[in-house]
A and B are shown apart, each in its own frame.
Chain A
Amino acid sequence: MKKLHALVAAAALLVSGAAQAANVTLLNVSYDPTRELYKNVNAAFVAEWKAKTGDSLTINQSHGGSGSQARAVIDGLDADVVTLALAYDIDAIAQKAQLLPANWQKRLPDNSTPYTSTIVFLVRKGNPWKIKDWGDLVKPGVHVITPNPKTSGGARWAYLAAWAYAEKKPGGNAAAAKAFVREVYKHVPVLDSGARGSTITFTKRGIGDVLLSWENEAHLALQENPGQFEIVYPSSSILAEPPVALVDKNVDRHGTRKVAEAYLQFLYTRKAQEIEAQNFYRPRDKAVLAAHAKDFPEIKLYTIDDLFGGWTKAQATHFADGGVFDQIYKPGK
């Protein structure tokens, strides 16, 4: 009899629990190499949200080139949050579709970037071409793999990192930087449209001698193909800040503002920062960064604001139609 009571009570509890707890769905629209990161972050946040509110949360992920993801959101992909490769792409969503306010980047700490990254070199085992720094990319015979800056966020960071090296090295200036970047792209035999595509071209198809890669993507390639590749840290690179933002109009329509905000704030917590570091993104949290110092060697990192006057300007000068990148491929030059 006692047993039966307990059973009934348990059943009642279950039923009432089910009645209160809601099923919530979030869509995180992200860029190419964050698949593994957000798989882990999402699992942690879903568990935490369940413990806190009792709601069953499902977080769907969408990945692709940063620019095409931004375009998809503008064209109506129902993102609750966007976590893209560069601020310019989220600016575009704010400007063209007015789905979030123009000052979105001020709403969360650290320019709305809970983690940072940079561009490093991935070379084949033993570094046969002795590639140590940006200058080695233009040795005769070296083939460089990097995606198309027109379509890939990572490729834009790589382009800017190469430019920064040439402009800031002793005796460097803007004209020298332009000539250097042009020379680098002359060594590129394949322009994939996204970072993941380039990684596959380099690691699986065996094309090229050095891959200009996101730091996290390079570490991932090492893990996936043990003993085949090495990471080389150049003397300088760029501080890549991949920002995150709430898509206001969409969350208000879905009624998911609270959970989406909590999700983005979660990215800054110690727990999430630890996951980000384990996925080879540089965490903002100093203590977590210190604990993983061996994965993140200190090199000189230029920022886009210092050297290029922010994304809007860099985009217009370098990557817009007819910009510096297009001039590289003008025939007869």
Chain B
Amino acid sequence: MNMSSAVASSPRLRWRNPSVLPGFGLTLGFTLFYLSVVVLVPLTALLLKPWTLGWDGVVSVVTEPRVLHALKLSFGGAAIAAIVNAVFGLLLAWTLVRYEFPLKRFVDALIDLPFALPTAVAGIALSALYAENGWVGGPLSGLGLKIAYTPLGVIVALIFIGLPFVVRTLEPVLADMSLDAEEAASTLGATRFQILRRVVLPALVPALITGTTLAFARAVGEYGSVIFIAGNLPMKSEIAPLLIIIKLQQFDYAGAAAIGLVMLLASFLIILALNLLQSAFAARR
């Protein structure tokens, strides 16, 4: 903190902070090389590919009603799933950090399952559960609620894969939070709700936004688990990644890349906005 303010106040513009650690050139060089190979080169290929269609070609691909609908479902579904995960992930993280109960370690390990399970396995398991002859889908369809093979099924799958992101981001923050502030608030006469609203939640919001953003980002591009439960009907339950696959099957690489590019840009803008929001919250504290 002191260092950076010193730099900011010094009249000479310096491109790096002096550091007592040696090896800056080597590590920065490796970082740039690694990022280029792993992230930038594939992304550049994606950025360049669609333009073989020309501007009009790209626009006509991504404004097709079917593509627009699929994008809406992928982003809308991911947003709903992320919000659901934010609420219940917070609850889960709170329970796991603040209380002691038998089998706590076991429950804690369960949270990671969606990370570890191959997505196709998750998709098949979910569709078996939520189909009309499944354990969950059967009783629900008796109530007139169909989940598998509808857009609701998409959201269920996205909630499943996104949950660990929220819980795992919140847990360390919650664990680090000392009880002092809450106790102090209590001695100053704050009600329980006031403590929650004014002391606990503000400390958690930046991490909550980060976790929700991660869950959202993961869900937007999710293919494997969704495809088995979605039904995949055009204009109804077809997700954008499936349209990309369909285009690839038809050897339409440029068309596939055009949809990919739109998804990339939209995700980038949304994640950027969420990050700005997060740093705004962090700065206010």
Interfacial residues, chain A to chain B (CB-CB below 8 A): 65, 67-68, 71, 74, 92, 96, 148, 150-151, 188-193, 197, 204-207, 319-321, 326, 329-331
Contact yes or no, B127 A205, CB < 8 A: yes
Q: Shortest Cβ distance from B228 into chain A, in angstroms?
A: 8
Q: Does B66 contact A (CB under 8 A)?
A: yes
Query: 6 additional contacts, CB 8 Å, given A96-B251, A191-B233, A321-B250?
Result: A68-B245, A71-B248, A150-B250, A190-B231, A190-B232, A206-B132
Give the distance in Å from the alpha carbon of A204 to the alpha carbon of B247 in the complex.
Answer: 29
User: Which of A68, A92, A321 is the most central at the interface, judged by chain B CB atoms within 10 Å of its CB?
Assistant: A321
Q: Which residues of B contact A206 (CB under 8 A)?
A: 131-133
Give the distance in Å from the alpha carbon of A330 to the alpha carbon of B69 in the complex.
Answer: 11
Which among B233, B242, B246, B248 is the interface contact of A189 at CB below 8 angstroms? B233
Q: Which residues of A contact B148 (CB under 8 A)?
A: 205
Contact yes or no, A67 B250, CB < 8 A: yes
Contact yes or no, B255 A321, CB < 8 A: yes
Give the distance in Å from the alpha carbon of A91 to the alpha carbon of B182 in the complex.
Answer: 71
Q: Shortest Cβ distance from A119 into chain B, in angstroms?
A: 20
Contact yes or no, A190 B251, CB < 8 A: no
Which among A188, A204, A321 is the interface contact of B233 at CB below 8 angstroms? A188
Interfacial residues, chain B to chain A (CB-CB below 8 A): 65-66, 127-128, 131-134, 148-149, 227-228, 231-235, 242, 245-252, 255
Q: A96-B251, A151-B245, A192-B232 are in contact. Are A205 and B131 (CB under 8 A)?
A: yes
Closest 10 CB pairs of A and B: A329-B234, A206-B133, A205-B131, A67-B249, A191-B232, A190-B231, A150-B246, A190-B149, A151-B249, A331-B65
Interface SS majority for chain A:
loop
Which among A71, A192, A197, A330 is the interface contact of B249 at CB below 8 angstroms? A71
Contact yes or no, B251 A74, CB < 8 A: yes
Give the distance in Å from the alpha carbon of A74 to the alpha carbon of B127 in the complex.
Answer: 32
Q: Which residues of A contact B227 (CB under 8 A)?
A: 193
Give the distance in Å from the alpha carbon of A207 to the alpha carbon of B132 in the complex.
Answer: 8
Contact yes or no, A205 B132, CB < 8 A: yes
> Considering only CB atoms, which chain A residue lies closest to B227 in the complex?
A193
Q: Shortest Cβ distance from B139 into chain A, in angstroms?
A: 15
Q: Which residues of A contact B131 (CB under 8 A)?
A: 205-207
Contact yes or no, B149 A207, CB < 8 A: yes
Q: Shortest Cβ distance from B194 into chain A, in angstroms?
A: 50
